[in-house]
Amino acid sequence: MTAEDFQKNGAVGNGGDGVRQPSSPFLIEKQGFFETFLDSLLRCLPQNVQHGVQHAGIQLADYLTKRNGFWQYARRVPDEFTKLDLRGVVKLSTKIRIADDPRAVRARKVAERLNKETEAYWKGLRDGRSMEARDRYMEARRRARSLGFDYATVPELVDRPIADILERFERLIALKLPDDEQVHAAVLGGEPEPELSLSGLFERFETITAASRVNMSPDQIRKWKNPKKRAIANLLEVIGDKPINRVTRGDALDFRVWWQDRVLTGEVDIGTANKDIGHLNKMFREIERADRLGLQPVFGELRIEGESTASRIPYPASFVQEHILKDGALDQLNDEARRVLYLIAETGLRLSEAVNLTRGTIHLNAAIPYVSVRPIGRKMKTEQSARDIPLVGVALMAMEAQPDGFPRYRDKGAGLSAIVNKVMRNAKLRPEGQTLYSLRHTFEDRLTAVEAPEKLIANLMGHKYSRPKYGTGPSLAQKREWLQRIAFTAPSRV
């Protein structure tokens, strides 16, 4: 029987007892399918489930009670967690005697800790259940596609023509599929779309973008994570925790206003605000692409205008020679830190490239000593970053003293940068606010001053050359020739 026959003959008829009954053998035989569909409908109707623990003005003291001479933490399990935590009321002893703390001063501090632990426990229960629901939902989508259907939840199916629904029943019968809940969930929309809270946004984003970080080092992963987590934390501070599909354009605008107010007071610059907005926009976009939750681009086109793009100030080459490379000028730095600085000054290496050199990428015994920048244990900034740089002057001296690289600072460039910049500031070696990274800009300026070919400069800097790439590029000998022209006079020791 086709869907057209079904519509022509009528779906149901009246039974002898006045109750409407299926009027065709098809419907009588497959009444169980309809019962399953109706059961799914009842179970999947949207509910206003509140996520997160809402204090609702309750003071922490309200959770303290007296029991057998001790202060006790007692809190009723919130309604949204009653199906996950069956205790009804959580009761935990603070182990502080009332006689020793009659005003509950110490007991409040213990109760605060217990309250945070309890809320974290409830959140863990909820997030764990959310992950299970997401897994079931994604499996239902996959199974529906394998059966030739797009997945649709019960509320979505209800809005479709009856012919579409009947087609699903007929396919199940024609394929003689087993009468199990997973099949019904896939074909009849038995798994509702899982709700993802803002507090769980990063974990989901981290999961769906895992492939992009395969070649990152631990420090690169840390740098990748932190700004995104910070953006979410700031958003939670402004609008609170809620399912991401309930985050509105108004919420996003409130977040933008919050950042604008901080910019106006001089607390932060515009660039910091725009980074937060950009991270949130990307996370929402990627999750929508992966999970198809119907998210709108609420953080799109919200960047604050007026962002400054000023570059770092380079050192004058004469200042580097006369002050930074002066004997004893950097004695406050340990040997490895000082030699990293010398290497960067003479080669223009990025800090992350310098500290991650190893014995395998340091070639001191070659006819032309050089270092190789390669993606070993880390992801490179650009394709052009992979390059070979000859060692001359103070850089050669530094690497001869460090044939195994800089193990103390491997994958710890941020920490080294902070140390070097602090020492240089105390030694008055940052006259215009320059930083360690400024030496890389100085390196490029020195090459420009001697009119080195642009292609060679781009190669040494690890930048993309604007013209099409032909041949193998500058040789080590050619690069050494130009580096020797700009080499500093080395200090007596490194």
What per-residue confidence (pLDDT) applies to 464?
Answer: 85
Indicate the DSSP class of residue 242. Answer: -
Radius of gyration, alpha carbons of the chain: 33
Q: CA–CA separation, 370 vs 483, rounded Å?
A: 12
Q: In this structure, what DSSP letter does residue 322 have?
A: I
Q: How many angstroms separate the CA atoms of 79 and 81, rounded?
A: 5
pLDDT at res. 366: 96
Instruction: Give me the numbers of helices (H) and strands (E) for the chain, helices first please.
Output: 19, 8
Do residues 400 and 362 make contact, with C-beta atoms less than 8 angstroms apart?
Answer: no
Q: What is the pLDDT of residue 46?
A: 40
Cα–Cα distance between 128 and 123 in angstroms, integer? 8
pLDDT at 468: 66
pLDDT score of 335: 96
Spatial CA neighbour of 131 closest among 51, 77, 182, 197: 197
CA angle 287/291/297 to nearest 5° reads: 45
CA-nearest of 116, 148, 157 to 33 is: 157
Residues of the chain with pLDDT under 50: 1-31, 42-58
Q: What is the rounded CA–CA span in Å between residue 416 and residue 421?
A: 8
For 203, 232, 242, 294, 357, the CA distances from 281, given in Å and listed in that order, are 16, 11, 17, 14, 36
**Cβ count near 203 (within 10 Å):** 13
E strand intervals along 16-159: 20-22, 64-67, 70-76, 89-97
Q: What is the pLDDT of residues 94-113, one digit of tens each?
A: 889 999 999 999 999 888 88
User: Which positions ≥6 away from 13 have C-beta within 8 Å?
Assistant: 20, 21, 22, 23
Give the dihedral sign, CA 179/181/187/189: positive
How far is 305 from 302, CA to CA, in rounded Å?
A: 9
Looking at residue 323, its pLDDT comes to 96
Does pTM top 0.85 for this prediction?
Answer: no
Nearest to 78 by CA among 121, 131, 130: 121
> In this structure, how many other beta carbons lie within 10 angstroms of the beta carbon of residue 209?
16
Residues 362, 373 contacting (CB under 8 angstroms): no
* pLDDT at residue 11, rounded to an integer: 41
